[in-house]
Amino acid sequence: MKVSILQFPGTNCEYDTQYAFEKLGAQTEIVWHKSESIPADTDLLVVAGGFSYGDYLRSGAIAKFSPVMQAVKEYASKGGKVLGICNGFQVLTESRLLPGALKRNENLHFISKHHHLKVENNDNTFLKKLDNGDVVNIPIAHHDGNYYINEDGLKELEANGQILLRYTDAEGNIQNPNGSVASIAGVCNKEKNVFGLMPHPERAMEAVLGSDDGVKMLEGFLES
Ligand SMILES: NC(=O)CC[C@H](N)C(=O)O
């Protein structure tokens, strides 16, 4: 299992992501954004979190023009699996590889804390190790996590089972820390090979650091 991890100027979660996947037994490689290709043996491509291009203009809006993104689009169009975490989710929506957009948090604050999430749909590679309705505890850390999609888009997401995760409390009651439409924390594309979420599963790999619920999330990618 080979996980390639994209790195833009300002990415800051690439080494945590590398640590998380190596802990699960995967081989990893960090790929600089100037590369015009991604490693041929890639089984999963992760767009890691951080502040690509300092979040100037809009989070992910400049990264989408990086040379590597053409290769990412080709990889995804052939069914390659892509996971965008936080800023990676923002890059994937900006690149139109995922539906919707991430706006400034409703309260205009950067929010950094553990948050509970409910699994909405586990019929996909990413969440297959969890059950629908499971509640996980995963850190969030963002100022642009306010997921937006219009009404028609939301209906389409619901109809196609593309809503993966929603923000909740520990009991699974819906919460909304950032103003996201329908409290959405993560979605996938219609083909279910491109995944994006604002929370950071790679930061929840050890109970002693607050939660190891990220293990079950990322493990889904290791068995295909
Ligand atoms: N942790 C991150 O990836 C941060 C994402 C993004 N730069 C934001 O603050 O919204």
**Residue among 85, 129, 89 nearest 222 (CA):** 129
Q: The whole model's pTM is what?
A: 0.97
Question: Does 66 sit in the ligand 1 pocket, CB within 6 Å?
Answer: no
Amino acid at 17: T
Residue identifier of the C-alpha nearest atom 5 of ligand 1: 87
Q: How far is the CA of 58 from the centre of ligand 1 (A)?
A: 11
Q: What is the CATH number of the domain that holds 7?
A: 3.40.50.880
Could you tell me if the CB of 89 is within 6 A of ligand 1? no
Give the span between the Cα atoms of 147 and 101, in whole angstroms: 6
Q: Tell me what pLDDT residue 206 has.
A: 97
Q: Comparing C-alpha atoms, which of 55, 100, 66 is closest to residue 190?
A: 100
Q: Over pLDDT 70: what percentage of the chain?
A: 100
Cβ-based neighbour number of residue 96 at 10 Å:
10
User: Is 52 inside any structural domain?
Assistant: yes
For residue 124, tell me if it sits in a domain. Answer: yes
Atom of ligand 1 at shortest range from CA of 200: 1
State how many domains the chain has: 1
Q: Could you give the C-alpha distances from 63 to 6, 58, 181, in angstroms and in order?
A: 11, 10, 24
* Residues that are catalytic: 86, 200, 202
From the CA of 48, give the closest atom in ligand 1: 3
Closest CA to ligand 1's atom 9: 142
Contact 185, 166 (CB under 8 A): yes
Q: Whose CA is nearest to atom 2 of ligand 1?
A: 50
Task: Give the residue ranges of DSSP H helices in 78-170.
Answer: 87-94, 151-159
**142-167 burial string, b = 16+ CB within 10 Å, else e?**
bbbbbbebeeebbeebeebebbbbbb
- In terms of residue numbers, what domain contains 89? 2-219
Position 223 scores a pLDDT of: 76
Give the total residue count for the chain. Answer: 224
Ligand 1 mean position, distance from CA 142 (Å): 4
**pLDDT (0 to 100) of residue 224:** 59
Condensed to tens digits (0 to 9), the pLDDT of residues 2-34 reads 999 999 999 999 999 999 999 999 999 999 999
Domain assignment present for 122: yes
Stretch 101-126: mean pLDDT, rounded? 98
CA distances from 138 to 10, 190, 217 (A): 22, 25, 10
86 neighbors 142 (Cβ within 8 angstroms): yes
Asked if residue 159 has pLDDT above 70, the reply is yes
160 in any annotated domain: yes
Query: Pairing relation of β-strands 81-85 and 194-197?
Result: parallel
For residue 164, pLDDT beyond 90:
yes
Whether 224 maps to a domain, the answer reads: no
Residue in this structure with the two tokens 């439409």, named with its chain if needed: 181
Q: What is the distance between the alpha carbons of residues 130 and 134, in angstroms, rounded to a whole number?
A: 7
What is residue 174's DSSP assignment? B
- 189-224 pLDDT, tens digit per residue, is 999 999 999 999 999 999 999 999 999 999 999 975
Q: Are 53 and 12 in contact (CB under 8 A)?
A: no
Which residue, by CA, sits nearest to atom 7 of ligand 1? 51
